[in-house]
Amino acid sequence: MAKLDLVKPNNGSQEEATPRHRALGLRDEDVRAMYRTMVLTRLLDERMWLLNRAGKIPFVVSCKGQEGSQIGAAFALDPTRDYVAPYYRDFGVVLHFGMSARDIMLSAYAKAEDPNSGGRQMPGHFSSRAHHILSGSSPVSTQIPHAVGMALAARMRGEKLVTYTSFGEGSSNQGDFHEAANFAGVHKLPVIFFCENNLYAISIPQDRQLGCAHVADRAIGYGMPGVLVDGNDVLAVYEAVSQAVLRGLNGDGPTLIEAVSYRINPHSSDDDDRSYRTREEVEEAKRNDALEVFRAELIGCGVWTEDDEVALREELRSVVDEATEYAQKAPLAEPESTLDHVYAK
Amino acid sequence: MAKLDLVKPNNGSQEEATPRHRALGLRDEDVRAMYRTMVLTRLLDERMWLLNRAGKIPFVVSCKGQEGSQIGAAFALDPTRDYVAPYYRDFGVVLHFGMSARDIMLSAYAKAEDPNSGGRQMPGHFSSRAHHILSGSSPVSTQIPHAVGMALAARMRGEKLVTYTSFGEGSSNQGDFHEAANFAGVHKLPVIFFCENNLYAISIPQDRQLGCAHVADRAIGYGMPGVLVDGNDVLAVYEAVSQAVLRGLNGDGPTLIEAVSYRINPHSSDDDDRSYRTREEVEEAKRNDALEVFRAELIGCGVWTEDDEVALREELRSVVDEATEYAQKAPLAEPESTLDHVYAK
Amino acid sequence: MAVKLYIDAIREAMQEEMRQNPNVFVLGEDVGLRGGVFRVTQGMIEEFGPERVLDTPLAESAIVGVAIGAAAYGMCPIAEIQFADFIMPAVNQIISEAAKLRYRTQGDWHCPLVIRAPYGGGVHGALYHSQSVEALFYHVPGLKIVTPATAADAKGLLRAALRDPDPVLFFEHKGMYRAIRDDVPEGDYTVPIGKARVVREGDDLTVITYGLMVHHALTAAGQLAADGISTHLIDLRSILPLDRETIVEAARRTGKVLIVHEDNKTGGIGAEVSAIIAEEALFDLDAPIARLCGPDVPAMPFSAPLEAFYMLNPTKIEDAMRKLAAF
Amino acid sequence: MAVKLYIDAIREAMQEEMRQNPNVFVLGEDVGLRGGVFRVTQGMIEEFGPERVLDTPLAESAIVGVAIGAAAYGMCPIAEIQFADFIMPAVNQIISEAAKLRYRTQGDWHCPLVIRAPYGGGVHGALYHSQSVEALFYHVPGLKIVTPATAADAKGLLRAALRDPDPVLFFEHKGMYRAIRDDVPEGDYTVPIGKARVVREGDDLTVITYGLMVHHALTAAGQLAADGISTHLIDLRSILPLDRETIVEAARRTGKVLIVHEDNKTGGIGAEVSAIIAEEALFDLDAPIARLCGPDVPAMPFSAPLEAFYMLNPTKIEDAMRKLAAF
Ligand SMILES: Cc1ncc(C[n+]2csc(CCOP(=O)(O)OP(=O)(O)O)c2C)c(N)n1
Ligand SMILES: Cc1ncc(C[n+]2csc(CCOP(=O)(O)OP(=O)(O)O)c2C)c(N)n1
Ligand SMILES: [Mg+2]
Ligand SMILES: [Mg+2]
């Protein structure tokens, strides 16, 4: 693994008295909301993994370890204004954009009511026009030019917004990343290219995946700023993405942000990671878990308590229970519906 | 057009007494050979353009204005050791690698004896196994991964060499460039990525083509050095490529070199450049013509005279005449041969 | 009605739709100041400006991918691929994305995208500026493919494509741009996607074809008519969906069918047309279903005699028609 | 002879060729320590080292493009595409480069490359881990395509592919990896590319198919045999080139032909097979040429009932066979 030299953006006031989030313009209820979505993301993730291991759902892809990056990014965006073309791990992002726990579970169970695809796609293939989430597919990186196209379209219509697209560090090697980033660079489009570097692409560690030290180093090749940020520091990510949003809205063009964290689970429920990484490495990564780090910070600055935690966990557990139960009972699509929606009626 | 800020590599001793080429380890006969190939390239180019305008050959693509880049690069390589995957303007490179004027003209006339393709491909689609020139196609940038593959294969076989691949600045936006450069970066392969930036991709000037200031800026994104060099300064190019060759042979991996010059002719014989650039701009560029610059330098340091020039021009004109005549008289391929070489016999 | 060039009909369709519909725009390589390498978009940047006639970087996957994003957002992009041969880098975006966006979201998102590409040979384009690429896509549900043979159809089909809510590949034969001219109706007409055209009616044999070959087959049919052999000639116009009804009806009518295309034979459009007939009209046939196509070689060479060997022409078609008529 | 799994036969072919021929090597995503996501290359990095079992960056066009360069140089690369669905970004390299290198140089350069890709559905792979992609390439002269249905054929065809001087696409049905096992001959045998296999002989109807469907059709044929209907069953094995002789002979023999494939129907392999028969054996037919294929939808859904609706199975095939037999 390459040694990471993290350049944190401005961390706000360093005085003990001013919590970082306030320096960033976040109210206490904002960071509580961020933490809430983070925990919901985590609980859903853990539940789905369990359901898969119990044979109840056929497949799951996990975002465990990347919630800091996702929540930090999502909360810097405006779900009523901006559009996202997320990648398959972005559960935290789509939850903030309006997907419900039930929607996620309907997708996990591949039920007819799944708003993403009616059960046609695997979990993690998010979509909702109502929630400004552009549908994604499985071939990696194809969503990146789509985000550029949405930004272009919005500008042609005079609509002020930014578009966000995410991808793994492995996927930043696909030609589509390069072509889309350059397109956005030439046309100064308000796109946020958000690389969630979790150090692995399935079994391939980043030093056998990336010729460069950092994905962010690629930004200069497209004439945009490249920002490297600790993905386990949710406020640092929030700040970096907020700056990118401002740039975009100001007409200053795109930004490439690389948020470094770790993929705690195997690549997917079909993967076994023991052949390519040590248990020690995974355990070590868990100690930097953004969720723990953020909770400690919130408790430290007095906006969160152990009691809040107990209450939140209880509440969210029942949200996840309800969602699971609902999804499990929901009907499957009719077989003949396979033939629907090839073309417009 | 973006203002170019050329970073010239070390120019050797600045003392009047030591000509630059000697500081680079080039003998007088070496630079005379370089100049000779440059002039041959130019004369062939001009002859083909004339033949096209006279309706004798259907198509021609010109390298006029890029000879400095091509000759500088080619002479830093070893045609008996190295392999090239050139792009369609690289007449100067393939001439140094062993193509004859006759070969070039046979291709221009699309005759059966054309060693590149037997007249199957357009001129500029170079190929010769004997001369270490890997066949190229028309879709731009597909040759770039091929050069990486040749370098990989050579390393697997323990053969010490470098591979060279060239492409325009427009073509550096194709996904294949990115994917290939990263592959070479990860595996530290001895590949020279040589971008001939002639400021236009057909009608598109570089500021609407490249999000970045310089193609060389992309190198860091693949973990390799990026070198920006004046393509009209043949010795500067020679030096940059020589350094890249050394890196490659030393196992230090690939290099990206951007040689900036100008495309003096329209994109091809089918193009009309008046709709997208002024005559003044073209005239201005002609004043920096590498051929003139290099001749002046050689005369200035006493390795070339006006008499040499007259003799060379006369000799090469007859080479071009002979090649043209031969090619014109050579037979076309048999119609039924269309069916040959789809698969091995 | 006025006689117009094929190329002008295409340009007019774009211009008229762009005047009516602010969502329509063109993007591609050199479509702006240069007006496209074939001049299809000539004059358009002057009328619509550089945002709606957008020069893009040299990257086909981005051209199509960006267009898909714009289409999903609500625009109606026309993505020009400079030569059909250069659509290959965009295959992933076309097949994985454009074709499947509606299906995978049950219609929540869709992709009103038109991809225009000049294809075809006989113009000294060599291996990579001559290819027919329609067979690469006609197996892909979710796409539509049209390839007009006349100026009138070009205009009407391009309008229809621009109003279609789903992705349409619009293949224009570069050999016809300035060689074909015909009566183009005035006003706001469309030609429906999925409907073939009966070019001439006849009873002795059916020829089914599309693109440039329609004109060659028509010439050949004229030669046969002089000898009292009457040809039923179908111009498919749409490759996907195919007009099964017209195909089957024509096969039934004459009992003899020759399918003609410039593209190479194996796995080409002719295979599906033949299979449809063998499925639905087998017992109406009086002769084996014949296909006359380009040879199965990787592409059309530059060298004139080789290109001529590859390309079909009226004489080769006439020979095949006479052989079939005499069966 | 020993009974072996389909997946093991593929691995063995690679291992044995790599032991014999230092030019053979594997490259792809996760082929090294992980042994491939399906474990096809398991254990190989341990035997051959990380240079000859080369983990690549996540970029299919580079995997194929680099392999082409290495093949031109004289190596025999095996490029693994993790799922056939992800071959799309490499289409330009495959069609523009690998398929045309020999042709455009008159054999001065050539490309002894094997591309392996797991394809096919019925495994809960959803839209993008279930596709059949062979029809995208069978129209491309210069390529060869094989898709073995048995362990014995898998090993013999992969060996043949690795010794072939031209590019071969080797499609392995992921549903068969661990579901199919059969007798694999000992020693250094090959199965010739371009030769179909007569799986069983029969006189009442012919079924022509390939891949997983061979097994389903065989089951169905067993059911029909119980009722005295005898099936002639052809496993194509090679998609390009097709074995015209065996196809035509089988059509002549029974006069009734059902073509079966998992892939969707329009423009699929069945179209060309049907067209060959309609061209060469029309008057030997006693029934329309039937095709039973996947439905013309963009891809196979994740949802179990939808996937089951999409996939063919022995019962659906049996029904179609009975219908044809009764014609
Ligand atoms: C074009 C393509 N090739 C291969 C795959 C198979 N695949 C799925 S995810 C993945 C690794 C992605 O790694 P990275 O981009 O780092 O994202 P991460 O999964 O680590 O979040 C691969 C190889 C794919 N989905 N698409
Ligand atoms: C994939 C692909 N798309 C489009 C083209 C058409 N085309 C040929 S050359 C060219 C411009 C190339 O510009 P650049 O890379 O700067 O090279 P230059 O011609 O300026 O040397 C274009 C668009 C092509 N050959 N291949
Ligand atoms: Mg990763
Ligand atoms: Mg250029």
Surrounding ion ligand 4 within 5 Å at CB are B 168-170, 198, 201
Binding-face residues of B in 140-159 toward D, CB within 8 A: 142, 144-154, 156-157
Contact A119/D58, CB-based, under 8 Å?
Answer: no
Domains in chain A: boundaries: 25-325
Q: Is D143 helix (H, G, I), strand (E, B) or coil?
A: strand
Q: Is C168 helix (H, G, I), strand (E, B) or coil?
A: strand
10 Å CB burial of residue C186 (0-12, 13-18, 19+) is: exposed
10 Å CB burial of residue D226 (0-12, 13-18, 19+) is: exposed
For the segment(s) A25-325, the CATH number from 3.40.50.970, 3.20.20.70, 3.90.226.10, 3.30.565.10 is: 3.40.50.970
- Does residue A149 register a pLDDT over 80? yes
Of A286, A241, A234, nearest to A263 (Cα)? A286
Residue A138 Cβ contacting ligand 1 at under 6 Å: yes
Q: Active site residue: A132, A146, A214, A263, which one?
A: A263
**What is the residue-averaged pLDDT of chain A?**
95
Are residue C115 and residue C206 in the same domain, yes or no? no
Ligand 2, closest atom to CA D92?
1
In B173-266, the DSSP E strands lie at 191-197, 200-201, 204-205, 226-230, 255-260
Question: What is the percent of chain D with per-residue pLDDT over 70, rounded to a whole number?
Answer: 100
Q: How far is the CA of A220 from the centre of ligand 3 (A)?
A: 22
pLDDT-derived band at D18, boundaries 50, 70, 90: very high
- Does residue B7 register a pLDDT over 60? no
Q: What is the pLDDT of residues B33-90, one digit of tens each?
A: 999 999 999 999 999 999 999 999 999 999 999 999 999 999 999 999 999 999 999 9
Note whether residue C190 is domain-resident: no
**What is the residue-averaged pLDDT of chain D?**
98
Q: How far is the CA of B201 from the centre of ligand 2 (A)?
A: 6
**Chain B positions in Cβ-Cβ contact with residue A182 (cut-off 8 Å):** 173, 210-212
Are residue C40 and residue C125 in the same domain, yes or no? yes
Are residue D120 and residue D203 in the same domain, yes or no? no
Nearest ligand to the C-alpha of residue A198? Answer: 3
Q: What is the pLDDT of residues A301-319, one digit of tens each?
A: 999 999 999 999 999 999 9
Q: What is the pLDDT of residues D172-196, one digit of tens each?
A: 999 999 999 999 999 999 999 999 9
Q: Is D219 helix (H, G, I), strand (E, B) or coil?
A: helix
CATH number of residue C122's parent domain: 3.40.50.970
Contact B153/D75, CB-based, under 8 Å?
Answer: yes
Sign of the dihedral defined by the CA atoms of residues D294, D296, D302, D307, in that order: negative
Kindly report whether the peptide bond that precedes residue C305 is cis, defined as omega within 30 degrees of 0.
no
Q: Which amino acid is at D21?
A: N
Number of structural domains chain D divides into? 2
Domain of D119, in residue numbers: 2-184
User: Chain B closest CA to A19's CA: distance in Å?
Assistant: 36
Q: Is D324 helix (H, G, I), strand (E, B) or coil?
A: helix
Among B178, B193, B224, most A C-beta atoms within 10 A, so best to mutate, is B178
| Chain C, nearest residue to B178 by Cα | C59
Note whether residue D77 is domain-resident: yes
pTM value > 0.90: yes
D110 is a catalytic site residue: no
Nearest ligand to the C-alpha of residue B171? Answer: 2
Q: Is A28 helix (H, G, I), strand (E, B) or coil?
A: helix
Looking at residue D286, its pLDDT comes to 97
- How far is the C-alpha of B12 from the C-alpha of B22, rounded, in Å? 9
Cα three-residue angle C301-C302-C304, rounded to 5 degrees: 100
Residue corresponding to tokens 């949405």: A150
Residue corresponding to tokens 């060659």: C216
A54: CB partners within 8 A, 6+ apart = none
- How far is the C-alpha of C116 from the C-alpha of C121, rounded, in Å? 16
What would the two tokens of residue C163 be? 């109003």
pLDDT-derived band at D224, boundaries 50, 70, 90: very high
Looking at residue B148, its pLDDT comes to 99
Looking at residue B6, its pLDDT comes to 47
Residue that is last in its domain, among D162, D184, D206? D184
Are residue D126 and residue D220 in the same domain, yes or no? no
What would the two tokens of residue D55 be? 């983990």
- Averaged pLDDT in 10-residue chunks for chain C of 327 residues: 96 98 98 98 98 98 99 98 98 98 98 98 97 98 98 98 98 98 97 98 98 98 98 98 98 98 98 98 98 98 98 98 97
Looking at residue D191, its pLDDT comes to 98
Q: By alpha-carbon position, which residue is closest to atom 17 of ligand 2?
A: B168
Q: Interface pTM (ipTM) of the complex?
A: 0.97
Looking at residue C185, its pLDDT comes to 98
**Is C116 in contact with C79 (CB distance < 8 Å)?**
yes
- How far is the C-alpha of A31 from the C-alpha of A312, rounded, in Å? 14
Note whether residue D317 is domain-resident: yes
**How distant, in Å, are the alpha carbons of A100, B67, B156, B238, B290 from that of B244?**
55, 19, 20, 10, 22
Looking at residue D1, its pLDDT comes to 84
Looking at residue A16, its pLDDT comes to 56
Q: Is D79 helix (H, G, I), strand (E, B) or coil?
A: strand
Are residue D63 and residue D171 in the same domain, yes or no? yes
Among B193, B195, B220, B228, most A C-beta atoms within 10 A, so best to mutate, is B220
**What is the residue-averaged pLDDT of chain B?**
95
What would the two tokens of residue C69 be? 């994003």
Contact B144/D68, CB-based, under 8 Å?
Answer: no
Contact C301/B201, CB-based, under 8 Å?
Answer: no
Q: Count CA atoms within 13 Å of residue A82 on its CB side.
A: 31
Looking at residue D237, its pLDDT comes to 98
Q: What is the pLDDT of residues A227-269, one digit of tens each?
A: 999 999 999 999 999 999 999 999 999 999 999 999 999 999 9
- How far is the C-alpha of C91 from the C-alpha of C103, rounded, in Å? 18
- Does residue B17 register a pLDDT over 80? no
CB atoms under 10 Å from CB of C241, counted, come to 17
What would the two tokens of residue A109 be? 């169970």
Looking at residue C1, its pLDDT comes to 84
Interface size between B and D, measured as CB pairs under 8 A? 137
**Chain A positions in Cβ-Cβ contact with residue D30 (cut-off 8 Å):** 202-204
Contact D302/A120, CB-based, under 8 Å?
Answer: yes
DSSP string covering D274-300: HHHHHHHSGGG-SSPPEEEEE-SSSS-
- How far is the C-alpha of C56 from the C-alpha of C66, rounded, in Å? 10
Cβ–Cβ contact A208 with C under 8 A? no
- How far is the C-alpha of A46 from the C-alpha of A25, rounded, in Å? 32
Looking at residue A10, its pLDDT comes to 44
Q: What is the pLDDT of residues D272-290, one digit of tens each?
A: 999 999 999 999 999 999 9
Q: Active site residue: C129, C215, C216, C232, which one?
A: C129
Q: How far is the CA of A2 from the centre of ligand 1 (A)?
A: 20
**Chain D positions in Cβ-Cβ contact with residue B120 (cut-off 8 Å):** 103-104, 106
**Chain B positions in Cβ-Cβ contact with residue C309 (cut-off 8 Å):** 335-336, 338
B263 is a catalytic site residue: yes
Are residue D111 and residue D52 in the same domain, yes or no? yes
- Which residue has better confidence, A345 or D305? D305
Q: Which of B61, B67, B137, B140 to mutate to test the pocket of ligand 2 (most atoms within 8 A of CB)?
A: B140
CATH number of residue C292's parent domain: 3.40.50.920
Q: Is A68 helix (H, G, I), strand (E, B) or coil?
A: helix
Nearest by CB to residue A175, choosing from B179, B184, B209, is B179
Which residues does a 6 A CB cutoff place in the pocket of ligand 2? B 89, 138-140, 167-171, 196, 198, 200-202, 263, 267; C 29, 58, 60, 82, 86, 89
Looking at residue C120, its pLDDT comes to 98
Are residue D119 and residue D172 in the same domain, yes or no? yes
Looking at residue D75, its pLDDT comes to 98
